[in-house]
Amino acid sequence: MNDAFSKCHPLVNFLFFVGAIVCGAILQHPAYVAVGTVCGAVYYVLLRRSKAVKPMALMLLLALVMTAVNPVFNTRGEHVLFHLLGRPYTQEALVYGAALSGVLLTMLLWLGCYNAVLTGDKFTALFGSILPAISLLLVMVLRMVPNLMRKTRQIVGARRCVGKGTMEDAPTGEKLRGGVTVLSAMTSWALEGSIVTADSMRSRGYGATRRSSFMIYRMTGTDALVLTVMVLLLAVVITAVCLGQAAVAFLPHLTAAPVSWGVCAYGAYLLLPAVLHGKEALQWRISRSGI
C-alpha cells in the first residue's frame, strides 16, 4: 500500500486514530458529525480504493436504516411529520437519529482506516518497550496461528492417507468426531512443542536481564512535524468544545451552537492523513514528469 501516513511512526498513527475515534464518538453537533464522516470517507477511499465501495455502501445503508428507525422508538419532538401506528413520527427525532447514525458511521470509517494503517506488527512495535512480555506474547500468538493451521492440514492429510479421512458427505456426527480427534492431536503437538521453544528461549538467556527492544521505526523530522501539528489542532478542537462550540440539543427542539473556527480545526486535523497522501502522490507525479 502506498500511503504516506502509513509510513509515519506508529506513535503518530496511533495517537491520530485515538483522537479521531474519541472525538467522533463524543461530538454530536451536526457540523462536526458531517466533517468527521466526510473526512473519514475520504481517507477510507484513498486507502482502500475500489475495495472501499462495498463496505461503504453497507455502512451507509445501516446509517439510513438507523436514522429512519429512531423516531419509531422516540416520539419526542415538536414537528410531527406523520403518524405511524398511532404514534407521532417527529422531525426532531429524525434529525437526532441522523446525528447518532453519523457518529456510528464516523467511528466505523475511522476503525476501517485504523485496521489498514496500524497493522499487528506496528501495534507490537509500539508497545514493545512499555509492555515487553505482552508484546512478545502477541508476536508469538500471531506466528503460531498460521503454524497451527498448517499443522492441522498435515494431520488431516495424514489421517486421510491411512483411511481415516472424513468425506464431504459424511454424517455430521462422524465429521465432528474427526474434528475432535484432529484438534486433540494438534493440542498435544503444540503443547509439547511449546516446552521445547520455552527451554530453547531460556538457554539463550531469556529472562536473564531486562529485555532490550529494537524499534524498526524511527521518529523522523516529518513525523515530529506531523505530531506537533496534530497536537496543536487537537488542542484547538478541545478548547472549542470546552467553550461550548459543539453544544447541541435535539429534543424537544433542535438548538445547535453556531458553526465557528472549532469545526475548521477539527476538519484540518482529520484531513492530515489525506493531505499527506495527496502531497506524496503529487510529488511522485512531478518528479516522474521531470524525467
Partner 1 sequence: MKKSTAVTLLVFFLLIPAALYLGLQLPGRSYYLTATLIILEILVPFFLAFEGRRPQARELVVVAVLCAIAIASRVALPLPHFKPTIAVIMLAGIAFGTETGFMVGAITALVSNFFVGQGAFTPWQMMAYGAAGLAAGFFAQKGWLPRKPWALALFGFFAVMLWVGPLLDVCSLFLTPIQINRQTVTAIFTSGLVVNVVQASGAAATMLLLGRPLLEKLERIQIKYGMLSGGAH
Record the cell numbers describing residue 119, joined without a space.
497493522
Record the cell numbers describing residue 241, joined without a space.
468544545
Record the cell numbers describing residue 269, joined without a space.
486535523
Give the count of residues interacting with partner 1 (CB under 8 A).
68
Find the angle CA(167)-CA(171)-CA(173) to the nearest 5 degrees. 115
Out of 2, 50, 188, 287, the residue judged to bind partner 1 by CB under 8 A = 188
Q: Where in 83-102 is the site for partner 1 (CB under 8 A)?
A: 93, 96-97, 100-101
Instruction: Determine whether 208 is exposed, middle or buried from the number of CB atoms within 10 Å of its CB (0-12, 13-18, 19+).
Output: exposed
Q: Where in 104-163 is the site for partner 1 (CB under 8 A)?
A: 104, 107-108, 111-112, 114-115, 120, 123, 131-134, 136-138, 140-142, 144-145, 147-149, 152
**Is residue 70 near partner 1 by the rule CB under 8 A?**
yes
Q: Strand, helix or coil at 216?
A: coil
Q: Where in 211-240 is the site for partner 1 (CB under 8 A)?
A: none
Our CB check for partner 1 shows the closer of 45 and 257 to be 257
In the complex, what is the shortest distance from the CB of residue 82 to partner 1, in angstroms, rounded to a whole number?
19
In the complex, what is the shortest distance from the CB of residue 231 to partner 1, in angstroms, rounded to a whole number?
20
Our CB check for partner 1 shows the closer of 58 and 176 to be 176
Q: DSSP string of 49-88? A: GGGGHHHHHHHHHHHHHHHHHHHHH----S-EEEEETTEE
Cα 214 to the center of its chain, rounded Å:
25
Stretch (H or E) spanning 30: helix 30-48
Q: List 249's β-bridge partners, or say none.
A: 255
Binding footprint of partner 1 on the chain (CB under 8 A): 22, 25-28, 63, 66-67, 69-70, 73-74, 93, 96-97, 100-101, 103-104, 107-108, 111-112, 114-115, 120, 123, 131-134, 136-138, 140-142, 144-145, 147-149, 152, 176, 179-180, 183-184, 186-188, 190-195, 197-199, 201-202, 206-207, 241, 246-248
